[in-house]
Each structure stands twice: as structure tokens, then as C-alpha cells.
């Protein structure tokens, strides 16, 4: 019997489905996969509700990158009895500090071009992210930088603003993670400046069945910077998810 769980994937800030392409290419045809957008609502809860509604009935695994990780955790809150596995990449469980909220508000003002905003265009905002989200060794990687800018352009300034508002108003999910007993994986670039590795260590310590993976020589965009290592960890996690589903299907107790 095939116990391959359907998989819900959630992109990060200024990302579209292409951020998951290393994984979706590697597992093509293996299981149903749905990549849900995270730029259509200014609420993490609403993005989660819409993503859940797009999944087939029954259990499914969910993985979120960066902002998508916040949505993935909310998916677990809303559909806890259906979660077969949880993957969290370069993200965190804590709510924004007031300082981070102020920083997001400045980026919103720049993207909207409102009163008091810096004279930065959305393109400049998007380009300015590169130095923060990739490892120093990849700053001359034109293909990677072009993909990042192209995804940001596809999300657009309005989508970017919605994402920032959703992120700054999200709730702390550290109370939720100990309740997620499905197989989990927490992956983070060692040099991630946006969501530091310490946040991943914290999440892994709270999840009952988590593997923690540190990606060497990678920044925030670990899945695109070191795709082989990240995809390997995700495939290993999906194997654990499917093994657990097989045990449940055969009537054995899950571990």
C-alpha cells in the first residue's frame, strides 16, 4: 500500500513556488504536492486557512520556508489532527519584537511610497535584501540573485506589503510546537542573518520528534544556496513521515 502523504509547501517573503523547485523536482511524481501562495493575505491565519482548504481530505505533511514557516505552524494549529509531518526551514516560532515591527513598517512605507518614506522603489527594496539573505560566498551568483529578484517581482509590492503585515502581527507559536507529535525537521543556514540558527535550535528542542539540520556555508536561502543538502534532509524527513503513516495504516502504534 502506498503511504506517501500529500505535501503542502509554503514559500517565504518575496518568494513564489520556485523557491521549492529543488525539492519538487527531486520528488516529482512521488506524492501529491501543492505549493500555496503566502502573499495574498495580510493574515497568517487566513493564509493557513486557504492553504488547508486546497489540500485533499485526510492527513498531509506541511513544510514552510521563512514566512511560510509561520504559516506552516498556523496550519498545525488549525488542522492539528491532520498533520502527518512538519518541516520548518529558516524560520522561527517567536513573535516579532517591537524593533523588528518598526523595521517592517519602514519597508512597507518604502514599498508603498507613502508620506515619510525613503525614495526607494520596490525594486530597490527587493535588491537590497540580497546582502542579508544569502551567504557572502553567493553574492556574485548572478543566477541565484536573478531568481530572487524575479520571484520578488512576481510577488510585487502589494504582495510584499501584505506579507510584512502578516508577519508583524503573527502570534508566538512556542506553546504549539510541543503538541506537534508528527515527524518534524528543522533546517537552517548556519550563517542565516534573518532567522538565526538559534531560533531553529529552539524550535527543534520544543518539537517532540524533530531532526535539526544546520546547513554549512548557507545564509537565509538555504534551499537555493545548498539544494543538495537541504533536499536530502527533506527527503529523509518525508521517509519518516511515510513510515509513520504506514505504521498507522497497519494498525501499529506510531513512535
If asked whether residues 180 and 208 sit together in one domain, one would say yes
Domain that holds residue 152: 98-168
Residue 117, pLDDT > 70, answer no
CA proximity to 35, closest of 14, 54, 49: 54
Classify residue 158 as left (phi > 0), alpha (psi -120 to 50) or beta. alpha
* Grid cell of 145 as nine digits: 540573485
Give the rounded percent of residues in the chain with a pLDDT score beyond 70: 93
Please list, residue by residue across 14-48, b when 16 or more beta carbons sit within 10 angstroms of its beta carbon and e when fewer do: bbbbbbbebbbeeeeeebebbbbbbbebbebbebb
Alpha-carbon dihedral sign for residues 156, 161, 164, 170: negative
pLDDT in tens, 198-254: 999 999 999 999 999 999 999 999 999 999 999 999 999 999 999 998 877 655 333
- Asked if the structure places residue 48 within a domain, the reply is yes
Task: Check whether residue 66 and residue 177 sit in a common domain.
Answer: yes
82 with 193, same domain: the answer is yes
pLDDT of residue 116: 46
Together in a domain, 177 and 240: yes
Amino acid at each position: 500500500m502506498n503511504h506517501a502523504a500529500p505535501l503542502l509547501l509554503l514559500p517565504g517573503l518575496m518568494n513564489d513556488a520556485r523557491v521549492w523547485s529543488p525539492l519538487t523536482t527531486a520528488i516529482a511524481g512521488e506524492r501529491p504536492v501543492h505549493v500555496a501562495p503566502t502573499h495574498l493575505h495580510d493574515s497568517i491565519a487566513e493564509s493557513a486557512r486557504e492553504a488547508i482548504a486546497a489540500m485533499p481530505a485526510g492527513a498531509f505533511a506541511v513544510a514552510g520556508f521563512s514566512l511560510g514557516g509561520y504559516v506552516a505552524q498556523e496550519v498545525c494549529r488549525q488542522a492539528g489532527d491532520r498533520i502527518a509531518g512538519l518541516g520548518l526551514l529558516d524560520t522561527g516560532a517567536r513573535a516579532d519584537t517591537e524593533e523588528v515591527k518598526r523595521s517592517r513598517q519602514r519597508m512597507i512605507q518604502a514599498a508603498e511610497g507613502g508620506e515619510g518614506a525613503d525614495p526607494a522603489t520596490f525594486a530597490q527594496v527587493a535588491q537590497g535584501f540580497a546582502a542579508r539573505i544569502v551567504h557572502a560566498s553567493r553574492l556574485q551568483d548572478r543566477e541565484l540573485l536573478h531568481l530572487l529578484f524575479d520571484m520578488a517581482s512576481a510577488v510585487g509590492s502589494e504582495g510584499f506589503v501584505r506579507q510584512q503585515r502578516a508577519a508583524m502581527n503573527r502570534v508566538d507559536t512556542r506553546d504549539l510546537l510541543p503538541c506537534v507529535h508528527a515527524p518534524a525537521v528543522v533546517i537552517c543556514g548556519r550563517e542565516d542573518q534573518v532567522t538565526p540558527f538559534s531560533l531553529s535550535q529552539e524550535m527543534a528542542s520544543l518539537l517532540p520528534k524533530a531532526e535539526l539540520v544546520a546547513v554549512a556555508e548557507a545564509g537565509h536561502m538555504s534551499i537555493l544556496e545548498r539544494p543538495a543538502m537541504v533536499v536530502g534532509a527533506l527527503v529523509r524527513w518525508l521517509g519518516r513521515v511515510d513510515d509513520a503513516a504506514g505504521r498507522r495504516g497497519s494498525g501499529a502504534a506510531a513512535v
